[in-house]
A and B are shown apart, each in its own frame.
Chain A
Amino acid sequence: MRKKARFHSLKKLRVRQDWSRWSLYSIAKVAQPSTANRTFFQQKWTAKAVTRAYHGEHIREKQWKHTFRRNLPAVVPMDHKYLARYNGSEQASGRGSGADTVDKPRIPPMTPYMQMTYFPLERRLDSAIFRSLFASSVRQARQFVVHGQVKVNGKKIPYPGYMLNPGDMFQVNPSSVMFATGAPKTRSSVKRKIDLEKKATRAAENTTRAPPPSDVVAPPVRDEPTPVELKKHMQDLMKSVEEVLSEDANVKAKDKQKFRALRQTIRKSISLWKTANPETISTLDTQFDFLKAQLSRAQPPFSPSPALTTTPSPIYNELAPAPTLSEDEEVALRKAFDKLKLETETTSKWNKRDSSAPYATPWRPRDYMNAFAFIPRYLEVNQNICAAVYLRHPVARPGLAEVPTPFPVETGQLAFTWYLRRR
């Protein structure tokens, strides 16, 4: 059997729909179609071959021929003020009576219809997934669809060739997206062994030292208290702090300072609760943000206090460390808290080291991703939930074609002419 051609070959540079360095190199090497000493047929053939290697190379030629449309969609952005002021008759007014336009009107930029040849392919589910940056190649996107990682309008759709309709929402499993777009996992067995040893020594150290900072984690979102409860908790906390400040004579001055700081933060958060009206509170996200803010704010008090440990709030229970801490232990703990705060700020809670993940952790984008990172306007993407809405079909507008294609407009025109079937 004949050997299958290389997908990325340096001998025959082909731009492919993926985020590899070979594709990047071939994009950089794309040139104007050569017309010298070539027949029109040859030019068209080459243009077709080059563009088809990028657009839907995983689709059979006949299938693509059936989806090809010679009517290319376009829009013209209109100015409503102009439409209100004129009714269109002004364009010809006075023409017959000798009025001739002296100043030529500015010609709007050309509408690049010829870059829109492959617009029906952008409607396919797999290419839409690739275009919304959920997969690193169309073939991977196709695999995600086939493997059941993709839902369209909340329904699992295993067909990569499903033609999206305007308004369709598709969502990809976030872990798959993180895998597809994240840096690959490369850890040798030696490195893993070294890390294990390091971890063991660290654990041994930790048993002798302060309690590990890992016991201070963000509260699980599921059983978060309602704002009312939260307020009550905060008020209770306030009361206990006041008690400590007024009654306990053997509280040190430094601890007192810390308690005052804590009191301040609690007062602030209570006032924040007061200013917020029930509507804003009722939405879940405000609850969430509120809780997070509380967590980061309630971070200063580390002084020993039996009153704090008796507070009803589960969050503050966690935050209140065990009594009898020495000075340097306190410093270590404070460092740990600072680190935690920084991490929550950069949402590292979501991006922690995880050996079971199929990508390098903490997650970072894969190499060369930024050179391919663009989201066309016909998609509206929410990256947080890895979902996107196909708003409309891609269109051409003056000076801009929405189908992402790496080829010059001349190549596009030749390819379009090829599929017009007038060879």
Chain B
Amino acid sequence: MPPRLHPSTFSSAVTTCSSLRPQCVSQPARTCREFSQTPCQRVTKRRRMFYEWLNTTGAALKEPIPGSTNYLGAYDKFGNLIRASPGWSRKRKDDQPKVEEPASTTDQPGGQEIEDELEISVRRSEQRKVKNKDDENELPPETAEDLRPFPMNKYFRSQPVLSEELREAIYQRVKQDGATVALASVEFGVSNERVGAVVRLKQMEKEWIAQGKVLAIPYSKAVLAMVPTTPYVDPSKPENKYQRPITHEAINDLIVHPATRQQLFVPVAESREFTRVDAGKAFDNGLLPADDRIPHPELVLAEKEIAMGLSLQERTSRALQRMDEEAQRKRRKEDKIKAELMSLKTVPKRRWDFVFKDVSVDAVGRDGRDYRGVGWRYGMPHEDRKRGQVKIPRRIEA
């Protein structure tokens, strides 16, 4: 069979096609070898539509907008930035900070906070600054839709991250001023875990600087310019005197306990005061009320003391007492760990240390299966060579 030859008319079709698209993204050149058996890539409707999209909406998403986020949710079908005024053009650079929609206050049942409001309250000060500048080329602040990287998913949006200054401030507050994690968390409106993580990461960053390692500064700048950030309101500055600190996230998140997922009908006498404690017990005997399960129960205590009408001195003395107790508990825990380490006998060697620990043969228990038992146990074969045994570590000690 003679090789199939492609008609030469194809090449003209390609040139017309490329002339239709004068813009940036070029379709890969159709290399149609004369004697090739592989089917030639035709300019299908799908491909045409893809490149059309890429040259309208896609072109707007190719590079970041300076001083703003640039997500798919912010554009309409035709690739126009919805929140931009008609005169807005992308070319001119404006150093506008990233801000969100204005706040609105509503009441929620059951003492729940609204996440949206927290988000909205973020970056108030910046918003004010923006309003002062009247420039038609200014982008208005992003709405919730503008922060959606996935337009179809209404329940996901790009949430702000901590700015560099805020991270530094948290680090200084914890490391230099010696504030506890809980205190820093309340002050900055950042959850407990995040405060710990920020301090840990910042510490590592300082170590890197001290060692003269190369940091990924250009990457960091680029990323922090692309995502929304929570700015730091420095209270020591005179212009921020009457500003509240900006809340980054909800700090009192209550984890939904699996026992509370079911609906429960508990008959209770009308005369009885059925509180949260009782409700918790009705769901599960060991379930504590929300007051004790939130990350900051001390805030509830403090509020209760205010409601009781205690004086400021009394409240501070009580708070100090609580902090003292907390510190003592922590110290005791550390002492215990230290004592355990001290009880081990260590013989240092050139490469490894030998550590001896007192064990008892009886620890294996009557059936020899207790997890505290050590050494080779008869009747308990190792299964680590068996098929299907996963060897990926479960946890890695820091």
Contacts and interface: CB of A to CB of B under 8 A. Distances in A.
Q: Which of B111, B202, B255, B304 gathers most chain A CB within 10 Å?
A: B111
28 contacts: A11-B46, A24-B61, A78-B254, A79-B113, A80-B296, A84-B299, A87-B276, A96-B270, A109-B116, A112-B155, A133-B223, A157-B396, A161-B392, A169-B200, A181-B219, A351-B217, A365-B223, A372-B149, A373-B158, A375-B227, A377-B249, A380-B198, A384-B215, A386-B216, A399-B116, A400-B115, A401-B155, A404-B156
Contacts of B114: 77, 108-109, 398-399
A400 B156 contact: yes
A202 to B, nearest CB: 25
Interface residues of A, number: 115
A371 B149 CA distance: 6
Contact of A387 (B111, B157, B201): B201
B104 to A, nearest CB: 12
Interface stretch (B92-100, B206-214, B309-317, B367-375): B206-214
B384 interface: no
A177 B218 CA distance: 11
Given A76-B112, A283-B176, 7 more contacts: A74-B256, A83-B290, A181-B222, A284-B209, A371-B71, A382-B205, A400-B155
Contacts of B150: 27, 30, 404-407
A347 B222 CA distance: 12
Interface in A87-140: 87-89, 91-92, 95-97, 105-109, 112, 115, 133
Contact of B157 (A73, A373, A400): A400
Interface stretch (B49-57, B234-242, B341-349, B358-366): B49-57
A351 B218 contact: yes
Interface string B8-21: 00000000000000
Q: Which of B193, B206, B219, B268 gathers most chain A CB within 10 Å?
A: B219
Contacts, number: 330
Contacts of A153: 396-398
B69 A350 contact: no
Nearest to A406: B150
Contact of A374 (B158, B222, B252, B307): B158
B152 A30 contact: yes
A115 B176 contact: no
A369 interface: yes
A408 B217 CA distance: 36
A409 B108 contact: no
Interface string B319-343: 0000000000000000000000000
Contacts of B107: 105-106
Given A89-B275, A406-B150, A365 B226 contact: yes
Given A87-B276, A153-B396, A397-B253, A28 B216 contact: no
Interface of A: prevailing SS: loop
Contacts of B394: 163
Contacts of A112: 155
Interface in A146-189: 152-155, 157, 159, 161-163, 165-169, 171, 174, 177-178, 181-182
A386 B25 CA distance: 31
B102 interface: no
B113 A78 contact: yes
B193 A387 contact: no
Given A383-B220, A398-B112, A84 B303 contact: yes
A28 B194 contact: no
A404 B73 CA distance: 14
A392 to B, nearest CB: 6
A279 B176 CA distance: 8
Q: Which 7 A-B pairs have the closest CB atoms?
A: A82-B111, A84-B303, A96-B270, A88-B276, A374-B158, A383-B220, A77-B250
B216 A78 contact: no
A73 B255 CA distance: 8
Interface string A8-35: 0011000000000110110110111000
Contacts of B299: 80, 84
B72 interface: yes
Contacts of A28: 53, 57, 72, 151
Given A85-B307, A108-B114, A167-B193, A399 B276 contact: no
A409 B150 CA distance: 12
Given A157-B396, A365-B222, A374-B227, A166 B193 contact: yes
A7 interface: no
B197 interface: yes
Contacts of A165: 395
Given A89-B273, A153-B397, A387-B201, A285 B193 contact: no
Contacts of B211: 222
Given A81-B303, A368-B62, A399-B155, A73 B256 contact: yes
A24 B200 CA distance: 35
A77 B307 contact: no
A221 interface: yes
Interface in B290-310: 290-291, 294, 296, 299-304, 306-307
A374 B149 contact: yes
B58 A10 contact: no
